[in-house]
Structure 1
Amino acid sequence: MFKKQLILMALIIGSVFTASADEVVLADAHPDTYVVQKGDTLWDISAVFLQSPWLWPEIWHANPQIENPHLIYPGDVINLVYVDGQPKLTVDRSHPTVKMSPQTRVIDHDQAIETIPLAEIEPFLKKLRILNKADIDLAAYVVAAEEDRNVSVTDHAIYVRNLKNARQGDRFAVVRPTVIYREVPTDYPWETSKYSETESIAWKKSSDYTTDAVMSRFWKNYIDRTYWESVVTLGYEVAEIGVAEVTRVGTSDITTMELVNTTQEVSTGDLVLPLDDFNFDPYFMPKAATNNSENIRVVALNNALFGSGKRQVVAISRGAQQDVKVGDVFAVYRPEKVIRDEVMHPKNDLKTLFKPSKANVTLPAELVGHVMIFKAFDNISYAIITEGNRPVKLFDYVRLP
């Protein structure tokens, strides 16, 4: 009996290792070598070799003889080799990066290929940030402008209330409230709500002095206000619209500032925050996500009315506090859908007159694409759609790839 148990355990362990090895599947018609081109991204190159590009770290064979072996440059040759029967990718760099020789050309690391197209996510890296409730309660705000202007632009003076520890010459970001992100309840009334409505709603700082938030150009929003007022708030998004410099620190709680740069007109109610010192590494490695929560959702689409496609940006309802990291790749699924089986039960079917649910069938959740996280806040993350065969829509489920 004990021998049988040992055999059974060995078979189970063997099957686990086999399954693990089978996770890395080479792409159809993959090459044995690939020369990196200017304009390539790490994701593009991964997709050349792998059916699941986020498994790149599993087969990347870093060469310790090369400085920064995880960085790839135009002109590098990527080779597919086999080590102990397993596929590995190595880089052949004919231009060494470090040798104590005056003839050696040193590679400019700024020329390394990016993981995803930086230009397509730059506005989300530099212009948007997400705050928590404490940040909002403490935030300074524009209370008035010189000469009683309704709006102000570059070189205009503004008056800011509640700015703490500011000194003459200090610079701050002027930001505008955009949307509140809220949790998507599992009991959302799908049958009675429009699919295009979003849980993101406009907000304002809790003060008699501030004005309503204005929807930014980043997200299209369709709001069901009554339903979402009672659900959990995940974060408050703001968009940077300018930079202001302190010109005079008053004896009261009013600070005079000059707008040194604006991308939109500044008005009362806009917030004043420290400049964002966020540093972004464009050379991160894609990897399979580890957060397996049941109810991670797509909670915003970038400039999309009904759905977003490849290389567009979405927001998902989990962040750093739930161990979501930059580089994490998730699969996106369309939720299950309940429909009436009109083949067996037409609308005039008397058998379902008193029990309509008898005619219902549930269509399964469907894979629509994959997204990669590029910026993670406490409870919200921004992601870029890396691939997909259908549009990604609001409320789609976000799960392990």
Structure 2
Amino acid sequence: MKSPFIAIILALGAAFPVLADVLTIKKDAPKQYVVKKGDTLWDISAIYLNEPWLWPELWQMNPQIDNPHLIYPGDALALIYDADGNPRLVINKAYRKLSPMGRITPKGKDAITTLPLELIKPYLSFEQAINSDTIKEKPYILGANENTKTQTIDHILYVKGNLKRNQAYAIYHEGAPYTDPKTGEKLASRASYVGMARAFRAGDAANGEPASVRVESVKREIKQGDFLLPAMEGQMLPVYFNMHRPTQPLQGHVIASPREVREFSTMDVVVLNLGSEQQVEVGHVIDIERQSPKVIDGARGPRYTEDSSRLEKLVSATSELFGSESDEDSITWKMPAEKVGEMIIFKVYDKVSYALITKNQYPIRIGDLAVIH
């Protein structure tokens, strides 16, 4: 049985109007749905809507549901249409009276949530994407009071840099860079959280005196060269996530996964080569598309590129290079990209962002497109 998730609190329609969006109910949507333990508002909205991030409008102006965040397992929801023909979900109060299975559920911490924050919490707390030049400017660990590879609680670390006494610092390890798949540009470095420490000596780098910190918690091995940031730097997020489509076209790629795997599914986290420089925002809903394979139509008929002969591949490459398709015996067909999923941006940096996959028809892969047309 799933334990209740901490909710990401989404702004209701009153705070973030979505009146411009027209709700379309799925043809196979049920007239009534009974809430189960482990459901989220997103799950329920996805039963009725192809675009579940529009859930506030499905629930808004509903006199029976003062706060849709306070719906509980066992509640029966009915789909109705208001006087203007707009679909709405309401609680079927008669359900509990008529159903022998109905029972009163205590109202409290068991209210269903919107999205499972526990799934992205590690990436809010333990992952950052930081410019390598910025990392070079940060204080970093020189060594410890004991020559050991594993630093534990209460060990003392010596730091090159000036720190503030009594301030808490998060310790990060610089990992492999995130790179653009087309240009090879280094977009940012992955910074993984390894521990927390508190400064008790400020240090004087100009005179060769290191700062000193005492380790308060350890997530993984702390190494020489790991760098420090004030504990809350990069961890502040908005209380409300306004889920919406970007207003301008976008095109990027899925370039990495914090889990360092190559295929992903719903509720997995991926890294995109899109950031604030491309006007990406927290709460943006982005489509995931996959480029269909090219087909070379030659003397032996249509074949995928990998199944074609060397001559056909050479002719195809020459046609692409010089922009010519004059060879009637071999024509390369460039197939369209097709939608394979959706994701929500939840953390944004200058050139990269983290996204949570909310829907997928096929496994999502490194190299898939992140687009808005």
What TM-score bracket applies, with the shorter chain setting the length?
0.7 to 0.9
State the shift of 1:319 in Å.
Answer: 2.6
Query: Which residue of 253, 258, 266 maps to 1:297?
Result: 253
Instruction: Number of aligned residue pairs: give it.
Output: 322
The answer on whether the counterparts of 1:118 and 1:282 sit within 8 Å (CA) in structure 2 is no
Are 2:194 and 1:241 aligned?
A: yes
* Structure 1 residue identity aligned to 2:247: T
Matches within 5 A, 1:302-381: 302-303=258-259, 305-341=261-297, 343-344=300-301, 347=309, 357=319, 358=327, 359=330, 360-381=332-353
Q: Distance in 2 between matches of 1:118 and 1:174?
A: 23
TM-score normalised to the size of structure 1? 0.69
State the shift of 1:332 in Å.
Answer: 0.6
Q: Distance in 2 between matches of 1:320 and 1:287?
A: 16
Aligned to 2:25: 26
Q: Distance in 2 between matches of 1:236 and 1:304?
A: 14
The answer on whether the counterparts of 2:168 and 2:231 sit within 8 Å (CA) in structure 1 is yes
State the shift of 1:297 in Å.
Answer: 1.1
Q: Distance in 2 between matches of 1:147 and 1:26?
A: 64
Are 2:85 and 1:86 aligned?
A: yes
CA distance 1:350–1:91, change in 2 (3 Å): closer
Question: What runs of 5+ residues in structure 1 fail to find an aligned partner?
Answer: 1-19, 95-104, 189-227
What SS does structure 1 have at the residue aligned with 2:29? coil
Q: Distance in 2 between matches of 1:160 and 1:350?
A: 61
What SS does structure 1 have at the residue aligned with 2:128? strand
Aligned to 1:149: 148
Q: Distance in 1 between matches of 2:64 and 2:334?
A: 56
Are 2:184 and 1:183 aligned?
A: no
* Structure 1 residue identity aligned to 2:80: V
Deviation larger for 362-371 or 334-343: 334-343
Matches within 5 A, 1:172-251: 172-185=169-182, 228=184, 231=185, 233-251=186-204
The answer on whether the counterparts of 1:78 and 1:89 sit within 8 Å (CA) in structure 2 is no
Q: Distance in 1 between matches of 2:199 and 2:311?
A: 73
The answer on whether the counterparts of 1:114 and 1:283 sit within 8 Å (CA) in structure 2 is no
* Structure 2 residue identity aligned to 1:290: T
Aligned to 1:97: none
What SS does structure 1 have at the residue aligned with 2:354? strand
Query: Which residue of 356, 362, 370 maps to 1:384?
Result: 356
* Structure 1 residue identity aligned to 2:288: V
Q: Distance in 1 between matches of 2:316 and 2:196?
A: 64
Q: Distance in 2 between matches of 1:93 and 1:281?
A: 34
The answer on whether the counterparts of 2:272 and 2:355 sit within 8 Å (CA) in structure 1 is yes
Deviation larger for 40-49 or 275-284: 275-284
Deviation larger for 314-323 or 38-47: 314-323
Aligned to 1:74: 72
What SS does structure 1 have at the residue aligned with 2:270? strand
The answer on whether the counterparts of 2:64 and 2:90 sit within 8 Å (CA) in structure 1 is no
Q: Distance in 2 between matches of 1:307 and 1:89?
A: 37
CA distance 1:73–1:347, change in 2 (3 Å): same
Aligned to 1:46: 45
Aligned to 2:230: 274
The answer on whether the counterparts of 1:299 and 1:394 sit within 8 Å (CA) in structure 2 is yes
The answer on whether the counterparts of 1:291 and 1:322 sit within 8 Å (CA) in structure 2 is no
* Structure 1 residue identity aligned to 2:223: S
Question: What runs of 5+ residues in structure 2 fail to find an aligned partner?
Answer: 1-19, 94-104, 303-307, 320-326
What SS does structure 1 have at the residue aligned with 2:44? helix
State the shift of 1:63 in Å.
Answer: 4.1
Q: Distance in 2 between matches of 1:354 and 1:364?
A: 17
CA distance 1:385–1:355, change in 2 (3 Å): closer
Query: Which residue of 200, 217, 241 maps to 1:261?
Result: 217
What SS does structure 2 have at the residue aligned with 1:363? coil
Q: Distance in 1 between matches of 2:201 and 2:47?
A: 58
CA distance 1:244–1:34, change in 2 (3 Å): same
The answer on whether the counterparts of 2:149 and 2:221 sit within 8 Å (CA) in structure 1 is no
State the shift of 1:72 in Å.
Answer: 4.0
Q: Distance in 2 between matches of 1:138 and 1:348?
A: 51
The answer on whether the counterparts of 1:115 and 1:286 sit within 8 Å (CA) in structure 2 is no
TM-score normalised to the size of structure 2? 0.74
